Amino acid sequence: MVTWESLEQTCANCSKCALCQSRNNVVFGIGSKTADIMFVGEGPGEQEDLQGEPFVGAAGKLLDDMLSIIDIDRTSCYIANIVKCRPPHNRDPEDSEQDACIEYLHNQILLLRPKMIVCLGRIAARRLIDSDFRITKEHGMWYQYNGIWITGLYHPSALLRDPSKRPETFVDLLMIRDKLHHLRNQ
Ligand code: URA
């Protein structure tokens, strides 16, 4: 039976793909293990690799602001990534790297059993929602993942690069807040 401890330990020693050779730290995930909402990014960047925590760089600061719009903070959600080790030069994780790593995330979702998953960016949405997911058209739409409500938002890094996407994301965040309140009161 997989436990949080055994999963984190296995992940810490993982050498299933070449990303293990260049990593400083495995970035397993962080937050409340009883959270009802989970955020999934694509993979650690430089700061995350150095500190061993997801979303601690510039995108992480924006993510904190996004969480506050939903009335939550890092202690009341769980944050993880599709791949747990940093792809060199922040390139997109390759399919083979995602394939090697995805079982860790599947087990994290099984252990957490959240009411809602929010994919941050195209990579996570394509892996968890639909391999053809179009972030520009489908952000903020609701889907099901093994009985769990799931949606995709623009990645915080995309919002830093292109602030014109922020108003749409604000609307998506309010909708997530409302749906979470509704699910909690069911
Ligand atoms: N971007 C991600 O997708 N994940 C992180 O943990 C940090 C930046």
Residue 1 confidence (pLDDT): 80
29 pocket-lining for ligand 1 (C-beta < 6 Å) = no
49 falls in which pLDDT band (50, 70, 90)? very high
Residue range(s) defining the domain that contains residue 11: 4-184
Number of domains in the chain: 1
pTM over 0.95, yes/no: yes
* Ligand 1 probe mutation, 38, 51, 77, 81, most atoms within 8 A of CB: 81
Measured CA distances, 112 to 13, 36, 70, 155, 177 (Å): 22, 8, 19, 22, 19
Closest CA to 123 of 91, 82, 85: 82
Cα 51 to chain center, whole Å?
17
156 pocket-lining for ligand 1 (C-beta < 6 Å) = no
Given a cut of 90, is residue 72 above it in pLDDT?
A: yes
54 pocket-lining for ligand 1 (C-beta < 6 Å) = yes
CATH number of the domain residue 96 falls in: 3.40.470.10
